[in-house]
Structure 1
Amino acid sequence: MMRKFLFAGAIGAAIFTLNMPAIAKTDSLPVGRCINMGNHFEPPTEAGFGGRKIADNDFEIIAKAGFNTIRLPVRWSTHMVDGPSGDAPEYKIDPKYMKRIKYVVDNARQSNLNIILNSHHFEEIHSDPSEKNIAKLAAMWKQIAIIFADYPTENLWFEIENEPHDKFNDSNLLDVLTPALYEIRKSNPDRPVIIGGEFWSGIKSLQTLKLPDDPHIIPTFHYYDPFDFTHQGATWVDNPPPMGREYGSKEDKANLKADVQKIKDYIAQTGKTPFMGEFGANGPVPLEQRVKYQKAVRQAFDEVNIGMCAWAYTNTFPLYDSSTKKWVPGMLDAMGLKEGKDEEGK
């Protein structure tokens, strides 16, 4: 059938019509147990935030531990080619960088993992959601979508932009995202596309999140509550919470229960099942407390049967220790997976 996309805003009101067959609505994704490949491709250079490059056997390790999905954060916005084609209106992504991302996606698929591929840390669009940056986001996704157009929709999903915040909020969310969605739909008419809400996509953002009129949009949220526990000693945060906060008080348990209810209410009201795109606690937090938190959150949200993506594989909030080549003690159990597997998955 003919499908129309309507958006209005900084680039003016417009209606685009695409020739697309009638397709069933996507109400949820089989995310299951998921882990973020954090701090690999969102730094300016791979592993530039003190991490390491993704190794060829990482996805085998992840799959053998029992994970179903990886989320791959990518900072496309800092990898344009040198010269005029890297500027407006083409904003051409460096082919070498694109080739590296494609290699990693292919590697993950060889281990039968689902992949969530996103745009991460496009900082300019958060501080200045202007016509120029909206066009750049759309141009990036046009290229990404074409490269991956032939990949199965069952296990490769796009997330247009991570954690809207600052001046990128509910007032302009659809204006910013719809041009990119339109470019995606030209080559990927039925691929699931993920959208999170304002204020870093916290759980409260679902209350006001408006989704495009598209049957294959999936909402997401991130969960770092209570922030004064999860971000103790976080050097990248202004005025980071001090160390020493423990998790598990009566108030913590009550708040967690209330947050699970928010997801139940959202599903009942919208018919859409969101998934948790990030959760975890900072590495300097005592391990016993990190594990306790990870398990409490996972068990609580298991009640609503949503996918959950831990942050992150080897860096900042690590679940896997690449120096010992072992999973951090207690973390697989916290994720509801089998403990005791080493690098070979034995």
Structure 2
Amino acid sequence: MAAQSPDNEKDSDGEKILFGENAITNIKITSQNAQIERAPNGSLKLTVPPSNGYPDVQFDATSKPLDLEAFDALEADVFNPGDQPVKVVLSTRNPGSQGRDGSSAAAATVPANSSGVIRVAFGSWHGQTDVPFDSAKVQSVSVMIEKPARESSIVIQRLRAVSESRLLEQLKTSAFFRSQTPFFGRGVNIGNTLEAPREGDWGPRLEAKHLDQIQQAGFDSIRVPVRWSTHASKTTPYRIDPQFMQRVQWVVDEALRRDLKVMINIHHYEGLYANPEQHHERFLELWRQIADAFAGAPDELVFEVLNEPHENLDAGKWNRLLTDTLPIIREKHPTRTIVVGPANFNSIDALQFLKLPEDRANLVATFHYYSPFQFTHQGASWLGEESKRWKGTTWTGTPEQQKAVRNDLDRALRWSVENEVPIYLGEFGAYQEADMESRNQWTRFVADEAIKRRIGIAYWEFYSGFGVYDPEQDEWRESLRDAILGN
């Protein structure tokens, strides 16, 4: 099918409608056996058979290129009417651009029977943020269902170009934003410690002197990842080892005694990620015991429900588990702050699929940030051979690099303000294989830009592979510490 009115895009402050709301452009299907239906409200339903490819519907600006230079990104509002998640790719193309075939592309998995926004920043390719792209001459936009295992559909409701900064300037006038302060201030993760299979397996054991050093350096808070799942019985009543519980309580008490705010979570629950249904009741029982153990603790102790839901714990399953977990925690902690993050490793893109209760008092959302990944994870052994090829990647703070970070943080803040939920950057950091000058520059820029947006931060991490502290020399990496603290 094809309908054409290329000059009919609707403009408003911060966005330009390309399809939807009576803005129509050329539409064509480029995949065999795909079907497209036009709904009375103007949306399009794309239905495709099982495929190993990328069945798509394409929106062409063939009469003249679209000039989107004033915008940061494209967004597609979509709805998944099926009973299984669907991975959707949004791609825009300018054949004259250098880079990956003159394209920018990004993907998101839309849960069953859910709406979502697929967003692609100009100059990005599935997380890589330095791909040349000329947004002044956009020729086409494609919405694709990626390799569906069975017949799948997606409803495309609207396509628009957006200027994140212009939209956010409007939102910053809200009473909610004006009332915000950076939650938990500037903090650090006590990583590779209590979330190791056994403390000491992945690095040093935490000592009281470390907490002294963190407090004396000027940090406001610590985030303490905890792998409870390897310290609890595998059968009901799933009892947590009392000795391990005492160890966690010691860390919490010692930190609070030093006027450090403390966050504890459930971290690295691999069984839950792989088989959410099988571990559902065990997860709830772990939180029941944690809630009991810390009943009556000061308000400066905060609970984070789960670190980085991923794998088979997709957005739909995670939302259901969260619905069951929060009342268990609230029974003993009705006013304690609880932190929750989205699926897909707490990614910014997945925030939109995080379902929170109507009563959002004392709830904070979190996201993690390691972009560009080829820089922050170069040489990381757990990523295999591919990460070795990234070695030598630098971050020098070019205008393009800075813009990519700002745009990402703006998206997180935009979600926060639109949903009136405070937001927290629970992890960010660059691995030790990157050169120190690049690490310092990237860390300082991310930290300062987050704080400017009233987003609290926790650097990953204290004294291991990303460490701000050198345990062998027993001293701070001062330039990195100062970058986190804004000194």
Change (3 A) 1:183 1:165: same
Change (3 A) 1:208 1:178: closer
TM-superposition CA deviations, 1:243-301 (whole Å, max 9, x none): 01111344322211211221331232011120000001001111111111101111221
Read off the aligned partner of 1:129 and give its amino acid letter.
P
Alignment of 1:101-250 (within 5 A): 101-130=248-277, 132-153=278-299, 155-214=300-359, 215-238=361-384, 239-240=386-387, 242-247=390-395, 248-250=397-399
Secondary structure of the corresponding residue to residue 330 of structure 1: helix
Higher gyration radius (CA)? 2
Counterpart Cα distance in 2 of 1:237 and 1:164: 19
Partner of 1:301: 450
Match of 2:238 among 91, 100, 104: 91
Counterpart Cα distance in 2 of 1:120 and 1:288: 31
Counterpart Cα distance in 1 of 2:262 and 2:450: 21
Change (3 A) 1:30 1:337: same
Secondary structure of the corresponding residue to residue 47 of structure 1: coil
- Preserved CA contact (<8 Å) 1:65 1:337: no
Q: As a proportion of its length, which structure holds more strand?
A: 2
- Preserved CA contact (<8 Å) 2:182 2:451: no
Alignment of 1:75-90 (within 5 A): 75-80=227-232, 86-90=233-237
- Preserved CA contact (<8 Å) 1:283 1:318: yes
Counterpart Cα distance in 2 of 1:269 and 1:28: 16
Partner of 1:39: 192
Partner of 1:269: 418
Which deviates the most, 205-214 or 89-98? 205-214
Read off the aligned partner of 2:213 and give its amino acid letter.
I
- Preserved CA contact (<8 Å) 1:277 1:310: yes
- Preserved CA contact (<8 Å) 1:280 1:317: yes
Counterpart Cα distance in 2 of 1:321 and 1:207: 38
Secondary structure of the corresponding residue to residue 253 of structure 1: helix
Partner of 1:14: none
Read off the aligned partner of 1:70 and give its amino acid letter.
I
Which deviates the most, 243-252 or 300-309? 243-252
Q: 1:178 Cα deviation (Å)?
A: 2.6
Partner of 2:208: 56
- Preserved CA contact (<8 Å) 2:186 2:220: yes
Partner of 2:469: 320
Counterpart Cα distance in 1 of 2:422 and 2:193: 28
Counterpart Cα distance in 2 of 1:105 and 1:221: 23
Partner of 1:17: none
- Preserved CA contact (<8 Å) 1:134 1:179: no
Partner of 1:15: none
Q: 1:28 Cα deviation (Å)?
A: 7.2
- Preserved CA contact (<8 Å) 2:460 2:467: yes
- Preserved CA contact (<8 Å) 1:139 1:180: no
TM-score (norm 2): 0.60
Read off the aligned partner of 1:209 and give its amino acid letter.
L
Structure 1 gap ranges (5+): 1-25, 81-85, 339-346
Query: How high is the sequence identity, in percent, across the aligned residues?
Result: 34
Read off the aligned partner of 1:210 and give its amino acid letter.
K
Partner of 1:292: 441
Alignment of 1:18-33 (within 5 A): 30-33=183-186
Q: 1:324 Cα deviation (Å)?
A: 1.9
TM-score (norm 1): 0.84
- Preserved CA contact (<8 Å) 1:312 1:319: yes
Counterpart Cα distance in 2 of 1:259 and 1:297: 10
Question: How many residue pairs get matched?
Answer: 305
Read off the aligned partner of 1:242 and give its amino acid letter.
W
- Preserved CA contact (<8 Å) 1:231 1:282: yes
Counterpart Cα distance in 2 of 1:140 and 1:301: 33
Q: 1:232 Cα deviation (Å)?
A: 0.3
Q: 1:180 Cα deviation (Å)?
A: 2.4
Q: 1:320 Cα deviation (Å)?
A: 0.7
Secondary structure of the corresponding residue to residue 70 of structure 1: strand
- Preserved CA contact (<8 Å) 2:219 2:485: no
Read off the aligned partner of 1:276 and give its amino acid letter.
L
Q: Does 1:331 align with 2:477?
A: no
- Preserved CA contact (<8 Å) 2:394 2:435: no
Counterpart Cα distance in 2 of 1:30 and 1:296: 18
